[in-house]
Structure 1
Amino acid sequence: MKHVRTISLFTAGFAALALTACGAKAEQPAEAAKPATPSVTQPASPTTADGHTSPGMRLKFGERALVPVDYNKESFGTVALTVTAIEEGKAADLKGFDPEQIAGVTPYNMRYTVEFVKGDDLSGVPLALRGLLSDGKQGGTALVGKTADCGKVTAPRDGGFSKPGQKFEACTMYGAKGGEKISFAAFNFGDAYRKTPIVWGS
């Protein structure tokens, strides 16, 4: 049986963040009710000294980010990530998951393209993104598993992701509860991006 676990965006070990409530009073103008933007500080430069997209960059859907693939402070290569959409799924998509853990959860599919740019053979490397709720701060519920429509986050194996230009279409599932929605996708892999992720939104 599949399981879910809540993954935080901004702390090592993905501990859950505290909920930040947001809303608008009735007398406020309509624009005040729009979702808040992520609480990230746009960096002074869009790229780092080594050519990667700077931690903290805010991007639109369809915009490309160059990011390192790091393990234990050692870089093994560079990939390009392009988030194309966040789509609301259906409750029926979650059949087979633990009913108690997905109670009240609406699934969302974060779709993105991953392209090999340079480095070692990255075949089989997992490259999942994190989902942020509409307040742009709190992480949603990570759905550990996959459906027929979403859940592919691992690069092709056996040399299928080892040469410049090779790419694959990925999809990470996240869930939201209580009328919330997943509005942003974030890359927070590796030390440089853990506290200051790259965030995509509309």
Structure 2
Amino acid sequence: MREPSVGVPVPSRERSRPLTVLAPSRGRSRLLTVLVAAALAVTGCSGGDRGAGPAPAPGASTTAAATPGALPSLTVPTPVATTPLAGPIRLTAGMTRPGTRLRFGQKAIVPIRQYHPWRGFTEGTLGIVVERLQHVPATRVEGNFDASSRELLNRSTAYYVKIVITNESGNPMSLDVPRLDGVTRDGRSTDTALHGGELPGCEERGSPEPFGHRGATWVTCELWVSSAARPIERVVYREAPYGDANPAFDDARFNQHYRLGLITWA
């Protein structure tokens, strides 16, 4: 179980953004965990005297001992060298136009570009369906919360949506969940930042393997917590070119071509 924490209500003079408490984020450390696990596996296999084996039992005969080169070994994958991006993400014919408003359950067709350290950049086209926004008491969010965070959850509501993503371009892709945010009717973000914690039945997942043919489907879930004063009613898609460049995968100098208008489900 992750060690979660919850933000606290923001004073009225700072209602423009939530106050957050740093803690491990949900779902974004998947790749780092894999890298660390692989490194530990190598360390575990390389210790001790590789040429030594168990002493033969009395009276037993032995055959030629295997050479050290015959022993199995593990290596940590080498990250792919990055090359400068040739240009910004572009919209093409058939993609959802900036500023489009959809009903829950309708599909948006969007471009995507992300970076994977072992495979380099992945670009393609996704179909994204945000299903009906649901809500439950935030007390149902599970985690090792401290007393003040638990008290905040007692006064808040948890909102979640199931998201169905399809591969529309047909090329192999390995992706994290695109940026989708729950917002109020007038477009404001939540007033509580949830870092960690889990809601049973709502799990954020990266793209499955394989996700490499047209029509391949990926189902994930997004979770937010907000107070009664700021109820969540809509979900927006923030990836470029509709929103800002994603700092994890893109170049901020392309923002002059981005921020065209978010896609909204309501």
State the TM bucket, normalised to the shorter chain: 0.5 to 0.7
Q: How does 1:42-53 map to 2 (within 5 A)?
A: 48-53=91-96
Q: Does 1:200 align with 2:261?
A: no
Equivalent of 2:234 in 176, 184, 200:
184
- Whole-angstrom distance in 2 between the partners of 1:77 and 1:116: 8
* Greater RCO (Cα-Cα under 8 Å, separation 6 or more): 1
Q: Match of 1:2?
A: 4
Structure 2: tracts of 5 or more residues without a match:
9-13, 18-90, 116-120, 245-258
**How many pairs does the alignment contain?**
160
Q: Does 1:87 align with 2:144?
A: no
Q: Match of 1:24?
A: none
% same residue: 22
Choose 1 or 2 for highest CA Rg: 2
Q: How does 1:8-19 map to 2 (within 5 A)?
A: 18=16
Q: Are the equivalent residues in 2 in contact too, given 1:67–1:78 (CA < 8 A)?
A: yes
Q: Match of 2:124?
A: 77
Q: Does 1:55 align with 2:98?
A: yes
Q: Are the equivalent residues in 2 in contact too, given 1:132–1:184 (CA < 8 A)?
A: yes
User: What is the TM-score with the length of structure 1 in the denominator?
Assistant: 0.67
1 or 2, which has the higher helix percentage? 2
User: What is the TM-score with the length of structure 2 in the denominator?
Assistant: 0.52
Structure 1: tracts of 5 or more residues without a match:
7-15, 20-47
Q: Match of 1:23?
A: none
Cα drift, residue 139 of structure 1:
1.0
For residue 130 of structure 1, what is the amino acid of its counterpart?
Answer: D
Q: Match of 1:38?
A: none
Q: Match of 1:154?
A: 206
Deviation by residue 1:17-73 (Cα, 9 ceiling, x = unmatched): 727xxxxxxxxxxxxxxxxxxxxxxxxxxxx5432111211111111100111248x
- Whole-angstrom distance in 2 between the partners of 1:198 and 1:169: 19
Deviation by residue 1:144-189 (Cα, 9 ceiling, x = unmatched): 4332211324211x32x12111112221001111343210011111
Structure 1 residues 168 and 66, CA, compared in 2 at 3 Å: closer, same or farther? same
- Whole-angstrom distance in 1 between the partners of 2:145 and 2:103: 34
Q: Equivalent residue of 1:92, what SS?
A: helix
Structure 1 window deviating more from structure 2 (119-128 vs 84-93): it is 119-128
Cα RMSD over matched residues? 2.7
1 or 2, which has the higher strand percentage? 1
Cα drift, residue 138 of structure 1:
0.4
- Whole-angstrom distance in 2 between the partners of 1:98 and 1:177: 17
Q: Are the equivalent residues in 1 in contact too, given 2:180–2:236 (CA < 8 A)?
A: yes
Q: Are the equivalent residues in 1 in contact too, given 2:142–2:199 (CA < 8 A)?
A: no
